[in-house]
Homo-oligomer: A and B are copies of this chain.
């Protein structure tokens, strides 16, 4: 983090910062960013501020820039088959519906099947307030939401795809941290397991260093699996019960491409949506209206099905 703070310090020196900009907080919120990413971040923020005729760059501008760097731009031109679009809609509908139905989840902000960066769709949540710590109930619900995409595919089509890979990885990671870092497994007790090994020159943590016995490793695996599976079952029961609404969200997504929080909540409540009129022109990236400002506060959304980039499928 110190490294990122230093790099941000260098890049922000030349631009007029608003008083609300807190470089250490920025550094903390950009874990995993490379030096080049941080340079882009500052640059995008400055450009955005300029475009909005601001004299200084505010924290809000940095949040906007972070989203763009993290997720890439929207890619409306990406060619996706109808079959894949349908799967994506179902997948996102699974995430979206659960954010409405689970009691401790951050509420939904928006769900879309317009591809952005590498993702075919996105479900964005909006925290009620700035959280610094997370309760066990919140984490359980978040795991359930992450698994919701895969489950939605299963219960509507009976099949599954590689698209949920990233969701499963994040759910597993959350489960593992509940057990190993946050003492949230009664079987393991209020101890922590594994030492973080930081790779010093690169300023990022590489991997947990295993400092426990195989016996402990087995118990950790069992507890992580138990946590993920319990949330999987919970999520599955909800989505099966709500299958009609799940399919309705997916259908509306195929028609409208984007649903906002209100629309998802209305479908979940069994209410009809207003008539949809396909816009004649796609709105360009406009000025900073109220909604935009709010959107900028959003954190890293749940990405929809992500093509397995890093290792191309051996043969097709």
Identify the A interface with B (CB < 8 A): 1-2, 28-29, 31, 34, 36, 79-81, 83-84, 87, 106, 118, 120, 125, 127, 129-139, 142, 145-147, 150, 159-165, 168-175, 177, 181-184, 189-193, 195-197, 200, 202, 205-218, 220-221, 224-225, 228-229, 232, 299-302, 305, 307-316
Known A-B contacts A190-B147, A212-B217, A215-B221; the reply to A200 vs B202 at CB < 8 A is: yes
Chain B residues with CB under 8 Å of A138's CB are: 316
Chain B residues with CB under 8 Å of A232's CB are: 189-190
Rounded to whole angstroms, the CA-CA distance of A160 and B189 in the bound complex is 13
Known A-B contacts A84-B131, A305-B133; the reply to A310 vs B182 at CB < 8 A is: no
Does the CB pair A135–B164 fall under 8 Å?
no
Question: What are the 9 closest A-B residue pairs judged by CB atoms, nearest first?
Answer: A213-B217, A170-B314, A133-B163, A132-B307, A81-B129, A133-B161, A213-B218, A169-B192, A172-B191
Does the CB pair A136–B165 fall under 8 Å?
no
Does the CB pair A229–B312 fall under 8 Å?
no
| A172 to B: closest C-beta gap in Å | 4
| 8 A-B pairs (CB sep. < 8 Å) | A80-B130, A81-B129, A87-B133, A171-B191, A177-B308, A190-B228, A191-B228, A212-B221
| A23 to B: closest C-beta gap in Å | 13
Rounded to whole angstroms, the CA-CA distance of A172 and B116 in the bound complex is 32
Rounded to whole angstroms, the CA-CA distance of A147 and B314 in the bound complex is 13
Does the CB pair A159–B147 fall under 8 Å?
no
Does the CB pair B310–A196 fall under 8 Å?
yes
Rounded to whole angstroms, the CA-CA distance of A41 and B83 in the bound complex is 32
